[in-house]
Chains A and B, each alone.
Chain A
Amino acid sequence: MEMTPLPVVVPLVMAAVLVGLEAIPGNHRLLDILSLATALVVLCLDLVLFDTALTNTIVYWFGGWAPMGGFPVGIAFVIDPAGAALAALAALLTVMGLLFSWHYFRAIGTFYHSLMLLFLASLQGFTLTGDLFNMFVFFELMGVAAYALTGYKIEDTGPLEGALNFSVMNSIGAFLVLFGIGLIYGRTGGLNLAWAGSWVAKHGADRTLLVAFMLLVIGFLIKGAIVPFHFWLPDAHAVAPTPASMLFSGIMVEVGLYAVARIYWTVFSPSLHFLPLRDLLLCIGLATSLAGGVMACLQRHMKRLLAYSTVSHSGMMLAGIAVLDSNALGGTLLYIIAHGMIKAGLFIGTGIILYHYSSIDEEKLRGKGCQMKMTAFLFCASGLALAGLPPFATGTGKAIIERSAEAAGYGSLSAVFLVCSGLTGGAVLRAGASVFFGVGSPNFMSAPAPTSGDREPPETTSQTGGTPLMMWIPFLLLVAGAFAAGVAPQAAGLAAQAGARFTDGAGYRAAVLTGKESMLWPPLPSAPLRWESGAEAALLAVVVAAFFLFRSPLPDRLVKGLKVVMKRGLSWLRDIHSGYIGDYVTWFMIGASIMVVIAVLL
């Protein structure tokens, strides 16, 4: 298809144009409109691509350099439904972020629109490409745009520090990705994913290739914020401007996981012993989701709370991928999309609070938000949706993953999912209840937190009157979108189809190298979903929120003892999130060495 590269080209060109227009003073509305229109165009293009990719994988060779004698000499975009869906999610979140910033960046606006479009272009390229090195370039482009957006409020030390930690950790990840790419190129002689995959299918994966795979996995897991590589995420997401945080949590972290899955299935699935890999990824995924869930409960800085919840959900997504099953992957995809919408919506919620009160400290704002009925409703609904309350699509995705995990003999995964959903959902509900309804007493767990979120630098000039329409409309649309994706009867079928096509490595390689039509996988009728698990998680979330907010009906001394024990245990967890980049790099070295050793022994 001729329009295939347009989702990358259009925002790139527009970013350059907007930099030029920036020089003319007093035209920020023009910039708003142009960037919004660009993101909308990209969204439409992605949806067309998704629709086309559903019937047949799209392969586009740049400059018409098709494979010669079965060897790919050119660079290809290879688009299957999963990649197109993630690209569409990226475009959707950009549209919502730009809508939200309609009022937000009235005062400060330099290069903001260009950076957002650059970020969008790199996300598009990353999800649509079928070439390893292309992936690296878009990965780095994404990084640079993201670092600049994180440090956008350059007048303040918090963003600077967050941006520093973020950029150093992600650069190290990029080096590892580059080592992995170099090793794969040295072994297989090609940079195309399909070519490397067909080489591995023919010759098998030796130790060098296994190490290459592990290096790529570690590099992308840094982006995916998986324990012990996750430390940068809360520092960065908590300080970035709200629209940037929406994109970071909603899609950027997830594309790191997407890259792991993509490389596994296109290149390594034919010849890797998958059982140890499955166990390893499941372990770190579940550890991540537990650590993120607990840390989320300990925060009073609301954006930091959401950032830790992203860590937790990222762990759950990795666990979904790690089941290494097509249905689970489809479920994970649905979960990523629903979570992206909900989490972006929640960040809009904190953005609205910040707009009104110049603070996002849960304790200080207790009861302040009583007037914001609409925001309160959406925020609490999002909290429940985050826990996976049916019929939100988060619940559907989670139920699909749990069903496949049980079929694969990992029944305990459901229990961890339940706990983590309950913790993150509960933390959000607690914050919502105390800010919007003023219930509860000062939270004992977060009282001494050094990162309070009070006296945040305002992102706007005026903050009188009600919430502007352009702020809560995108919130409403996102929550409604996650709801609609859960209610729509086709969603589960589409996810199954996307998962089956994604995990069909042989079909992918044939489509790229020989242009063979891809097989259509009719979604299989399978065991019914356990809807209750979502409802249970939502119930647990309410219980968790209540535990933090209300006096317990248990005897006072028991509660006091419980709190002391918890405080002791959790202070260690809190201490390792030290905020120092040196510590993060040390954790990275420990984790990476263990994983590389495992790859050598595999």
Chain B
Amino acid sequence: MNLLPFLVTAWLFLAGLYGIATSRNVIHLVSCLFVAQSSTYVFLLSIGFRRQGTAPILDELPAGARLVDPVVQSLALTDIVVGATVSALILVFALQAHKKSGTLDPRRAPPMRG
């Protein structure tokens, strides 16, 4: 098992979280969320990866060919769709907040506190 993809996963995830924690711009914040999400794609694909495996399109391959795991690929695909939906929704919130309060800074808008 190769360690590199898992290190990349951890790096992407933590970098994304750090970006969200320190962000001063909602658009930047959503991008960081998407960076963190991309770590899940790397992670899922690396779990199903097999060296010298080919794409799992069965009717074009001879029997017994080495394949990468199709299940995790479909998981990653679902994950991407979900991520796109959520990002679009959050971006709408961000734009609308900008229209209302004139700022994109998540620390500037008067928050609800306490």
B50 at the interface (CB under 8 A from A): no
B89 at the interface (CB under 8 A from A): yes
Q: How far is B36's CA from A156's CA once the two chains are assembled, in angstroms?
A: 29
Please name all residues of chain A whose beta carbon is closer than 8 Å to the beta carbon of B101 when the two chains form the complex.
Answer: 157
CB distance from B70 to the nearest CB of A (A): 12
Q: Which residue of the partner chain, among A168, A451, A574, contacts B29 with CB atoms under 8 Å? A: A168
A543 at the interface (CB under 8 A from B): no
CB distance from A576 to the nearest CB of B (A): 10
- The stretch that binds B, out of A146-154, A249-257, A401-409, is A146-154
* Contact A585-B20, Cβ < 8 Å, known A147-B86, A161-B97, A167-B89: yes
Please name all residues of chain A whose beta carbon is closer than 8 Å to the beta carbon of B89 when the two chains form the complex.
Answer: 144, 147-148, 151, 167
Q: Which residue of the partner chain, among A133, A143, A575, A579, contacts B75 with CB atoms under 8 Å? A: A133
Please name all residues of chain A whose beta carbon is closer than 8 Å to the beta carbon of B85 when the two chains form the complex.
Answer: 144
Question: On chain A, which size bracket covers the interface?
Answer: 35 or more
Q: Does the CB pair B112–A304 fall under 8 Å?
A: yes
A-B contact count (CB 8 A): 135
Q: Does the CB pair B79–A160 fall under 8 Å?
A: no
A450 at the interface (CB under 8 A from B): yes
Please name all residues of chain A whose beta carbon is closer than 8 Å to the beta carbon of B79 when the two chains form the complex.
Answer: 178
Query: Which of A144, A160, A179, A575 has the most C-beta atoms of chain B within 10 angstroms of its own C-beta?
Result: A160
A368 at the interface (CB under 8 A from B): no
Query: Which of B39, B85, B111 has the most C-beta atoms of chain A within 10 angstroms of its own C-beta?
Result: B111
Query: Which of B37, B39, B90 has the most C-beta atoms of chain A within 10 angstroms of its own C-beta?
Result: B90
Q: Does the CB pair A238–B112 fall under 8 Å?
A: yes
B96 at the interface (CB under 8 A from A): yes
CB distance from B53 to the nearest CB of A (A): 15
B2 at the interface (CB under 8 A from A): no
B33 at the interface (CB under 8 A from A): yes
* Contact A451-B96, Cβ < 8 Å, known A175-B37, A185-B72, A582-B23: no
Write the chain A residue with the least CB distance to B111.
A579
A577 at the interface (CB under 8 A from B): yes
Q: Does the CB pair A577–B86 fall under 8 Å?
A: no
Please name all residues of chain A whose beta carbon is closer than 8 Å to the beta carbon of B17 when the two chains form the complex.
Answer: 172, 585, 588-589
Q: Does the CB pair A140–B114 fall under 8 Å?
A: no
B21 at the interface (CB under 8 A from A): yes
Main SS at interface, chain A: helix
* Contact A179-B43, Cβ < 8 Å, known A140-B86, A450-B113, A582-B106: yes
Q: How far is B20's CA from A69's CA once the two chains are assembled, in angstroms?
A: 47
Q: Mark B1-37, 1 if CB is under 8 A from A, else 0.
A: 0000000000001000100111100100100010011
Q: Does the CB pair B40–A162 fall under 8 Å?
A: no
CB within 8 Å of B: which A143-199 residues: 143-144, 147-148, 151, 154-158, 160-164, 167-168, 171-172, 174-175, 178-179, 181-183, 185-186, 191
Please name all residues of chain A whose beta carbon is closer than 8 Å to the beta carbon of B68 when the two chains form the complex.
Answer: none
Q: Does the CB pair B29–A581 fall under 8 Å?
A: yes
Q: Does the CB pair B96–A167 fall under 8 Å?
A: no
CB distance from B18 to the nearest CB of A (A): 9
B61 at the interface (CB under 8 A from A): no
Q: Which residue of the partner chain, among B36, B47, B112, contacts A450 with CB atoms under 8 Å? A: B112
Q: How far is B66's CA from A31's CA once the two chains are assembled, in angstroms?
A: 53
Main SS at interface, chain B: helix
Q: Does the CB pair A298–B111 fall under 8 Å?
A: no
Write the chain B residue with the least CB distance to A238.
B112
Q: Does the CB pair B93–A578 fall under 8 Å?
A: no
Q: Does the CB pair B97–A589 fall under 8 Å?
A: no
Please name all residues of chain A whose beta carbon is closer than 8 Å to the beta carbon of B63 when the two chains form the complex.
Answer: none
Q: Does the CB pair B100–A157 fall under 8 Å?
A: yes
Q: Does the CB pair B114–A451 fall under 8 Å?
A: yes
Q: How far is B109's CA from A450's CA once the two chains are assembled, in angstroms?
A: 13
Please name all residues of chain A whose beta carbon is closer than 8 Å to the beta carbon of B93 when the two chains form the complex.
Answer: 147, 151, 160, 163-164, 167
Q: How far is B29's CA from A158's CA once the two chains are assembled, in angstroms?
A: 18
B65 at the interface (CB under 8 A from A): no
Please name all residues of chain A whose beta carbon is closer than 8 Å to the beta carbon of B107 when the two chains form the complex.
Answer: 580, 582
Q: How far is B97's CA from A164's CA once the two chains are assembled, in angstroms?
A: 10
* Contact A171-B112, Cβ < 8 Å, known A137-B78, A185-B47, A585-B21: no
Which residues on A are within 8 Å of B, measured CB to CB? 133, 137, 140, 143-144, 147-148, 151, 154-158, 160-164, 167-168, 171-172, 174-175, 178-179, 181-183, 185-186, 191, 234-235, 238-239, 295, 298-299, 304, 449-451, 574-575, 577-583, 585-586, 588-589
22 A–B pairs (Cβ distance < 8 Å), ordered by A: A144-B82, A144-B86, A147-B93, A151-B89, A155-B100, A157-B101, A157-B109, A164-B26, A164-B97, A167-B89, A167-B90, A167-B93, A172-B20, A172-B36, A175-B37, A239-B112, A295-B114, A449-B114, A451-B112, A575-B114, A579-B112, A582-B106
User: Can you list the 5 inter-chain pairs with the closest CB atoms, starting with the nearest?
Assistant: A579-B111, A574-B114, A451-B112, A186-B47, A585-B21
